[in-house]
């Protein structure tokens, strides 16, 4: 058994207790069905049709449980295949699904490189896996071949700048604990870690906390034997090489170069999107993971929200709360990666935000406000851009 396989048998990641499924649902990006609809299907998917999905490198089941639980609650049909090399991780995922009584799930033990042998999927989730492969491009290529022509994929890979201090420690701990079994490696690394100076870049990095959450978190962050971070431009290049196209990100605001430049500086307009995003990542310096969506090369990428029948949803906040903020202050405070940004918003959009409930369409909201479509659009689009860039607003007809 190689080191990576041994790690996940000893410390399934992320550490989860199946009994907790009785009291909470862990949600996030990528792969929430609302978000999938927004980035892959332009917010207009026909959810009466079953979603055939693959969770490639499913770990202890976060993406699997999120998708299955949300779709089950919405009364939507699905078939989800879970694929992972770790038997220990699979057992946790199976137990979580059993606690929730989730059906329509097929569990497979194996490598994500074998994904094309399982058929073609409308949607593929691959969160936190590709950067751990000996050759990540082989993973991108395999997943691309397993994707249906009209489907899409949600990815998360590690980024270098927000993980400052991680890689020197991985190298040092790897050398000092070589030959030990996983439990002995963890004990040794924890003892060394306790002696690190306060000025170490890792100690000063406020964006990392896995090592404080659990043994599995410490091991995955600081003892992983195979961990290669990507710049955003490198991720997009890997997608291109696999016959895939970047389709957007719920954290697009982090890559908005124009927002980081002084007013009147327009040199960014001479750069393509990949170049702009790469420069923005360097200027931001806090991005620890890249979360993005992709579609097959040549597939139509529909921009969500352009159709008047599009249905907006707010994630993690209520329309009433945001509307109150806008009414009182004429601005919104957006937090991403622990950094706050204050954005001016015209007070006239407050009644629109108050109407957002995941069931009313843009047309319904405009009608309720007694405003024509052009007037509505001129007010709505600027706040839409801010909220979608922060991953707060998505479009989906899942609940209609």
Q: Give pLDDT tens digits for 95-141.
A: 999 999 999 999 999 999 999 999 999 999 999 999 999 999 999 99
pLDDT band of residue 341 (cuts 50, 70, 90) is confident
Is residue 266 one of the residues assigned to a domain? no
As a whole number, mean pLDDT of residues 144-169 equals 97
pLDDT band of residue 283 (cuts 50, 70, 90) is very high
What's the structural domain count of the chain?
3
Q: Are residues 10 and 154 in the same domain?
A: yes
Q: What is the pLDDT of residue 202?
A: 97
Decide: 211 and 222 in contact? Cβ < 8 Å.
Answer: yes
Backbone conformation region of residue 165, classed left if phi is above 0, alpha if psi is from -120 to 50, else beta? left
Decide: 4 and 225 in contact? Cβ < 8 Å.
Answer: yes
Its domain, for residue 343, covers 312-393
Is residue 50 one of the residues assigned to a domain? yes
From 207, 222, 237, give the residue that closes a domain. Answer: 222
User: DSSP character for 160?
Assistant: S
10-19 pLDDT per residue, tens: 999 999 999 9
pLDDT band of residue 259 (cuts 50, 70, 90) is confident
Q: Are residues 142 and 131 in the same domain?
A: yes
The percent of residues in the chain predicted with pLDDT above 70, rounded, is 99
Is residue 24 one of the residues assigned to a domain? yes
Q: What is the pLDDT of residue 300?
A: 84
Q: What is the pLDDT of residue 282?
A: 97
Rounded CA separation 393/258 (Å) = 21
Q: Are residues 75 and 149 in the same domain?
A: yes
Q: Are residues 133 and 192 in the same domain?
A: no
Per-residue HEC secondary structure of 53-106 comes to EEEECCCCCHHHHHHHHHHHHCCCCEEEEEEECCHHHHHHHHHHHHHHCCCCEE
pLDDT band of residue 27 (cuts 50, 70, 90) is very high
∠ CA(219), CA(221), CA(227), 5° rounding?
105
Q: What is the pLDDT of residue 342?
A: 85
Mention every residue, 6+ apart, whose C-beta is less than 8 A from residue 41: 152, 302
Q: What is the pLDDT of residue 169?
A: 98
Q: What is the pLDDT of residue 90?
A: 98
Higher pLDDT, 302 or 355: 355
Bond preceding residue 14 cis, omega within 30 of 0: yes
Rounded CA separation 375/377 (Å) = 6
Beta bridge partners of 332: 343
Is residue 111 one of the residues assigned to a domain? yes
Is residue 14 one of the residues assigned to a domain? yes
Rounded CA separation 302/123 (Å) = 16
Q: Are residues 26 and 119 in the same domain?
A: yes
pLDDT band of residue 267 (cuts 50, 70, 90) is low
Q: Are residues 379 and 246 in the same domain?
A: no
Is residue 130 one of the residues assigned to a domain? yes
From 201, 222, 243, give the residue that closes a domain. Answer: 222
Q: Where are the beta strands (DSSP E) in the chain?
A: 51-56, 78-84, 105-109, 121-127, 147-158, 244-248, 289-296, 312-314, 331-336, 339-344, 393-395
Is residue 260 one of the residues assigned to a domain? no
Q: Are residues 169 and 122 in the same domain?
A: no
Q: Are residues 333 and 192 in the same domain?
A: no
Q: What is the pLDDT of residue 238?
A: 98
Q: What is the pLDDT of residue 105?
A: 98
Q: Are residues 184 and 65 in the same domain?
A: no
Q: Are residues 63 and 45 in the same domain?
A: yes
Q: What is the pLDDT of residue 253?
A: 93
What is the separation of C-alpha 71 from the centre of its chain, rounded to a whole number of angstroms?
18
Q: Which two tokens stand for residue 48?
A: 């009466």
Q: What is the pLDDT of residue 268?
A: 66
Q: Are residues 72 and 22 in the same domain?
A: yes
Decide: 56 and 31 in contact? Cβ < 8 Å.
Answer: no
- Count of beta carbons in the 10 Å neighbourhood of residue 17: 11
Q: Are residues 236 and 211 in the same domain?
A: no
Q: What is the pLDDT of residue 123?
A: 98
Decide: 202 and 165 in contact? Cβ < 8 Å.
Answer: yes
User: DSSP character for 302?
Assistant: P
38-91 pLDDT per residue, tens: 999 999 999 999 999 999 999 999 999 999 999 999 999 999 999 999 999 999
Does 179 score more than 70 pLDDT? yes
Does 378 score more than 80 pLDDT? yes
Is residue 271 one of the residues assigned to a domain? no
As a whole number, mean pLDDT of residues 354-363 equals 96
Q: Which two tokens stand for residue 81?
A: 């295949």
From 185, 203, 222, give the residue that closes a domain. Answer: 222
Does 234 score more than 80 pLDDT? yes
Give the largest CA-CA distance in the chain.
71
């Amino acid at each position: 058994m190689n080191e990576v396989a041994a790690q996940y048998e000893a410390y399934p990641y992320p550490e989860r207790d199946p009994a907790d499924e009785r009291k909470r649902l862990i949600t996030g990006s990528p792969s929430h069905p609302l978000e999938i609809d927004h980035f892959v299907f332009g917010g207009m998917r026909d959810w009466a049709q079953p979603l055939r999905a693959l969770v490639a490198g499913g770990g202890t089941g976060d993406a699997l449980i999120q998708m299955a639980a949300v779709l089950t609650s919405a009364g939507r049909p699905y078939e989800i295949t879970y694929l992972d090399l770790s038997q220990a991780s699979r057992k946790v995922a199976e137990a979580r699904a059993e606690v929730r009584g989730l059906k329509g799930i097929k569990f497979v033990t194996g490598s994500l490189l074998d994904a094309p042998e399982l058929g073609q999927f409308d949607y593929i989730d691959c969160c936190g896996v590709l950067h751990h492969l000996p050759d990540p491009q082989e993973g991108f290529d395999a997943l691309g071949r397993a994707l249906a022509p009209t489907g899409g994929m949600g990815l998360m890979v590690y980024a270098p700048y927000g993980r400052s201090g991680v890689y020197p420690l991985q190298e040092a701990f790897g050398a000092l604990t070589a030959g030990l079994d996983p439990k002995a490696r963890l004990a040794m690394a924890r003892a060394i870690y306790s002696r690190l100076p306060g000025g170490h870049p890792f100690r000063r990095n406020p964006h990392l906390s896995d090592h404080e959450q659990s043994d599995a978190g410490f091991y995955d962050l600081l003892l992983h034997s195979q961990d290669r971070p990507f710049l955003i431009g490198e991720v997009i290049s890997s997608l291109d090489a696999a016959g895939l196209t970047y389709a957007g990100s719920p954290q697009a605001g982090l890559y908005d170069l124009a927002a980081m430049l002084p007013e009147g500086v327009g040199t960014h307009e001479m750069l393509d999107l990949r170049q702009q995003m790469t420069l923005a990542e360097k200027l931001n310096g806090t991005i620890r993971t890249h979360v993005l969506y992709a579609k097959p090369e040549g597939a139509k990428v529909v921009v969500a929200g352009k159709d008047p029948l599009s249905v907006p949803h707010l994630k993690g906040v209520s329309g009433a709360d945001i509307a109150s903020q806008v009414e009182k202050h004429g601005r919104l405070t957006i937090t991403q990666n622990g950094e706050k940004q204050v954005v001016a918003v015209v007070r006239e959009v407050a009644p629109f935000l108050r109407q957002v409930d995941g069931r009313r369409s843009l047309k319904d909201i405009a009608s309720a406000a007694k405003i024509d479509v052009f007037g509505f659009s001129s007010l709505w689009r600027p706040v839409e851009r801010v909220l979608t860039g922060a991953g707060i607003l998505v479009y989906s007809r899942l609940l209609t």
